[in-house]
Amino acid sequence: MIIDIQNVSWDRNEQKILQNINWTVQNGEHWCLLGLNGSGKTTLLNMINGYIWPTEGSMSVLDKKFGEFDLRELRKSIGWVSTSLQQKLYGSETALRIVLSGKFATIGLYDETNVEDVSHAENLMESLGCTALINRTYDTLSQGERQRVLIARALMPSPKLLILDEPCTGLDVFAREQLLQMIAAVAAAKDAPTIIYVTHHVEEILPCFTKTLLIKEGKVFAARETSDVLTSATMSDFFAVPVHIQRRDGRNWLSVQGE
């Protein structure tokens, strides 16, 4: 079991941010987590990564039950790509050093690395199409290049769980499609980690994400096969406005319907 969340709620200032969440993710499943801003997605991710604890309920990640395992060690088995991480990295660091730091889950590289580490990092960067960035400093990279480097960093420790938190934010349509193709390749690779892809854009949900969790106002709206979730009727209920879902070339495209 990769994620096992049972009857979890989380309160802040006497307000329930998450309410009675039940969600399980099996090894080898790739899920999309879909919700509008303020729906509770970020809170749920922080909880999965062990940065906050449930107010109620129980949960385990990678078969490690919260309260019985050092969550700092758990994080070393989770790759996480997020906008908040981007903001913490040092702009003067080379892309290679940023990727290497993923082995230790640190901001900045302080630990000793060896020839095998460097070779692994370079191979990851090559597989993600960013060999040319190895000696470039982070502050000279485009948004799309930064996302590639961050995914390489997240894959550095060979994680069992990879969380991609809105990785296409800030990308133009061409850079977005390039990044999505790369993510599809990661999902298809041998011994790929279980991937949780977080977005609020239906068109970013690739065919490899066969399961979808809809979260709305801190509650699970739906959690099942993507093909069952991404229908015009379900998504109209979810967004509380009439929408039409059109399936084309293995992807889903949403349009808002008029009155």
Query: For 34-72, how does the pLDDT look when each residue is reduced to its tens digit (9 = 90+)?
Result: 998 888 898 999 899 888 889 999 999 999 988 888 877
Return the percentage of the chain with pLDDT > 90, whole number. 62
Q: What is the mean pLDDT of residues 135-141?
A: 93
- pLDDT of the residue at 68: 81
The C-alpha atoms of residue 62 and residue 40 are separated, in whole angstroms, by 22
Band (258; pLDDT cuts 50, 70, 90): low
Q: What is the pLDDT of residue 193?
A: 94
pLDDT at residue 4 is higher than 90: yes
Domain extent, residue 143, equals 3-211
Residue 108 lies in a domain: yes
Please check the confidence at residue 254 and state whether its pLDDT lies above 70.
Answer: yes
CATH number at residue 188: 3.40.50.300
Residue 232 inside a domain? The answer is no
Nearest Cα neighbor of 152 from 106, 116, 111, 102 is 102
Q: What is the pLDDT of residue 110?
A: 76
pTM: 0.91
Do the domain assignments include residue 185?
A: yes
pLDDT tens, residue by residue, 182-239: 999 999 988 899 999 999 899 999 999 999 999 999 999 999 999 999 999 999 999 9
3/207 Cα distance (integer angstroms): 21
- For residues 234 and 228, give the distance between their C-alpha atoms in angstroms, rounded to a whole number: 8
Q: Is 238 within a domain? A: no
**Model pLDDT, residue 144:** 87
Looking at the 3D structure of the chain, how many domains does it have? 1
The pLDDT of residue 50 is: 85
Could you read off the pLDDT of 68-121 as tens digits, one per residue?
888 778 888 899 888 777 777 777 899 999 999 888 777 777 777 889 989 999
For residues 160-175, average pLDDT: 91
- Domain-embedded: residue 30: yes
Averaged pLDDT, 120-135:
92
Q: Which residues contact 240 (CB under 8 A, 6 or more apart)?
A: none
Buried b (16+ CB within 10 A) or exposed e, 10-21: beeeeebbbbeb
Residue 102 belongs to some domain of the structure? yes
